[in-house]
Structure 1
Amino acid sequence: MIPTLEWTDKGVNFLDQTKLPLEETYVLATTYQDVATVIRDMIVRGAPAIGVSAGMGMALAVQKSPATTVDALLKDVDEAAAVLAATRPTAVNLFWGIERIRTLVRKLAASQPADRSDADKLKAITDEVIAEANRMYDEDIAACKTMGQFGADLLPKKGTVLTHCNAGALATCGYGSALGVIRAAVERGHVIDVLADETRPFLQGARLTAWELMKDNIPTSVLCDNMSGALMRQGRIQAVIVGADRIAANGDVANKIGTYTVAVLAKEHGIPFYVAAPWATVDMATKHGDDIPIEQRNAYEVTHSNGKQMTPDGVGIENPAFDVTPAKYVTGIITERGVLYPPYDDTMLAMQAEVNAATA
């Protein structure tokens, strides 16, 4: 399995996705500030991986805190949470990962025996937090594999599947969400080839999706982002599957810029359009897609390619990292808890009730 990130005795080790596919190198983050840089600079990317990375960043904040009392540790944890939360605003998993660890720290702090020394309290909290961060890692891989099992038979027994951006092992802790569904289908004997949109301007499809599917010997071709409509019209695409960075309560989906265009084209050509994402990507507090914050990235990503300037000096640049696909274009949402179908207002509320009952 592709080692996207890993907790080690020295820190969190990240596969540097900015160097792929030509170099397989790693970046070691030894502080939560390092993790914030790794997330912001897209050394690690993909909503599920960002969520677990944030959790591990919080664990580093606890482990490396100079605090000598529990109260001082709580202040350090809040500071780390603020720094990590400021990295990439669209992926709700970021905030899920931060809050999962921060909530645990507060719970542990409140439950420490009064007769325990400060040093022993801090060690007990640190040990539990590191264990929790590693549980998050394991849970993400398990969720991806379960998504694969739920979604595999939604894909054609034989045919071509289009994907946009990278929602594979590289976007998670392993196996992948959208690409995990493709992997599971292939494991069941489906004869599938994949078309990967290049995904301008950061080229996650061309660099990352193609790289990891080729490692799995799944036939893959890269498309320029403006080619998919013509191929749909020719009948060459039987299904579309993508990941998500945030899913609103009504089923609107935020994903990498260009996803909305693909969804509209799929609807026009009668092609099913699936979204695969862990339940942690669902944000029931966001009622619809218009309320999802869209990250605006550096103009350099558009003006330059491989360090070479491609645009005139002074030209205006738009570089939103994501767009929102309205729920009406989404055939189904594949999660580790099952597949959701329209009307999403009802089915997502029902699934949230199941989640609440299971965690009560």
Structure 2
Amino acid sequence: MIDETVAEIEGMQTHSSSVVAVKAARALTELLEREYATVEEFVRDLERNSSVLRRANPSHASLFNVQHSITREVDEDEPEDVASAKAALADAIDRAVERVEDGKDRAASHTAETLEDGMTVLTHDYSSTVNAAIERAVEEGNELSVYVTEARPRLAGRKTARHLAGIDGVEPTLIVDSAAGNYLEECDCVLMGMDCLVGDTLYNRVGTYPIAATAADLDVPMRVTGSGAKLIDSGFVFENDYRPASEVLLEPAEGFAVENPLYDATPIRLLDAIITDDGAMAF
């Protein structure tokens, strides 16, 4: 399970960083089935596998936070034997998963409160928290129009558009990334998920920064939402992920280079609000 989860994270088959964090936490249950002679051997194996999972995507703060919390809680439990160490790990995994999922749920609820009937929203990429917030808003009787960027080159926005198309009360429109500025003047706000917030910088799917800058120029409120597990102050260094050129260009590049960064950096001064499980932080 651990090896398969690492491969999945490295291949970005799962687009939501919260889902990645939960999958990686649950992958550690594999250790509960292994045999260990001592507690020390168990703890070493836990730390090694947790490190492997963290390194599978060093750009995900939620992955870092969840893995760190699991290993810390097992260590703080000070188990006296392997059986109690395994019990401590099982409990730590359950708590970590609950924190992420509960955090997403509450963040979506707070975000839904900002969406009013008749609003037009622009979103970028795919965010399970954004989708949940929109679903909750229309369940309250609101109708929304949503412009969805394709989020090239992996086209995660198409997944968002298809999801929103299945929700009564939502009218989604898929647009190419470069057309965002053309439609922002029609929008009441921009609403996106977030990969992580480190200090005063938002790291999110590439294309977020130009949308945020354009929205600021047009006085369109820019809001991001996600679990508080994605906020981090120290101990974490963001590393961008540069994807294969083949995602951009199928044929070989001859005489030129192809760059395909997965994320970009947006200063929080361009944001109007960050909405987490603790509510909204306005700027």
Q: Same fold (TM over 0.5)?
A: yes
The answer to whether residue 246 in structure 2 is matched with residue 300 in structure 1 is yes
User: 1: CA distance between counterparts of 2:5 and 2:189?
Assistant: 36
Cα drift, residue 263 of structure 1: 0.5
User: 2: CA distance between counterparts of 1:81 and 1:144?
Assistant: 22
Which residue in the other structure is 2:265 paired with? 324
Q: What CA deviation, in whole Å up to 9, does each residue of 1:94-130 have, x standing for no partner?
A: 111211221122233x232xxxxxxxx3233323423
- Name which of 53, 67, 73 aligns with 1:84: 53
Cα drift, residue 242 of structure 1: 0.6
Cα drift, residue 286 of structure 1: 7.3
CA contact 1:196–1:220 (8 Å) conserved in 2? yes
Cα drift, residue 153 of structure 1: 3.0
User: 1: CA distance between counterparts of 2:235 and 2:271?
Assistant: 18
CA contact 1:58–1:101 (8 Å) conserved in 2? no
CA contact 2:202–2:265 (8 Å) conserved in 1? yes
Distance 1:111 1:74, change over 3 A: closer
- Name which of 34, 37, 40 aligns with 1:71: 40
Letter in 1 for 2:83: K
User: 2: CA distance between counterparts of 1:224 and 1:58?
Assistant: 39
Match of 1:226, SS state, is helix
Distance 1:314 1:124, change over 3 A: farther
Cα drift, residue 37 of structure 1: 0.8
Gaps of 5+ in 1: 1-30, 113-120, 169-176, 343-360
- Name which of 182, 195, 200 aligns with 1:245: 195
Which residue in the other structure is 1:164 paired with? 124
The RMSD of aligned alpha carbons is 2.0
User: 2: CA distance between counterparts of 1:131 and 1:111?
Assistant: 13
Which residue in the other structure is 2:145 paired with? 193
Distance 1:154 1:247, change over 3 A: same
User: 1: CA distance between counterparts of 2:166 and 2:90?
Assistant: 31
Letter in 1 for 2:240: I
Cα drift, residue 314 of structure 1: 5.4
Which residue in the other structure is 2:186 paired with? 236
User: 1: CA distance between counterparts of 2:264 and 2:83?
Assistant: 43
User: 2: CA distance between counterparts of 1:286 and 1:242?
Assistant: 25
- Name which of 145, 169, 180 aligns with 2:105: 145
Cα drift, residue 38 of structure 1: 1.3
The answer to whether residue 69 in structure 2 is matched with residue 100 in structure 1 is yes
User: 2: CA distance between counterparts of 1:292 and 1:141?
Assistant: 23
- Name which of 33, 44, 48 aligns with 2:3: 33
The answer to whether residue 144 in structure 2 is matched with residue 184 in structure 1 is no
Letter in 2 for 1:226: S
Gaps of 5+ in 2: none
Letter in 1 for 2:165: M
CA contact 1:148–1:183 (8 Å) conserved in 2? no
Cα drift, residue 151 of structure 1: 1.9
Match of 1:37, SS state, is helix
CA contact 2:74–2:92 (8 Å) conserved in 1? no
Which residue in the other structure is 1:215 paired with? 166
Match of 2:177, SS state, is coil
User: 1: CA distance between counterparts of 2:76 and 2:14?
Assistant: 29
The answer to whether residue 203 in structure 2 is matched with residue 254 in structure 1 is yes
User: 2: CA distance between counterparts of 1:46 and 1:129?
Assistant: 24
Distance 1:40 1:178, change over 3 A: same
CA contact 2:152–2:177 (8 Å) conserved in 1? yes
Cα drift, residue 258 of structure 1: 0.3
CA contact 1:155–1:239 (8 Å) conserved in 2? no
TM-score (norm 1): 0.73
CA contact 2:108–2:226 (8 Å) conserved in 1? no
User: 2: CA distance between counterparts of 1:280 and 1:244?
Assistant: 11
User: 2: CA distance between counterparts of 1:303 and 1:67?
Assistant: 48
- Name which of 79, 82, 85 aligns with 1:111: 79
Letter in 1 for 2:50: A
Letter in 2 for 1:262: I
Match of 1:213, SS state, is helix
Letter in 1 for 2:172: T
Which residue in the other structure is 1:341 paired with? 282
Q: Higher RCO, 1 or 2 (CA under 8 Å, sep at least 6)?
A: 2
* Identical amino acids, percent of aligned pairs: 23
Letter in 2 for 1:335: T
Aligned residue pairs total 282
CA contact 1:165–1:205 (8 Å) conserved in 2? yes
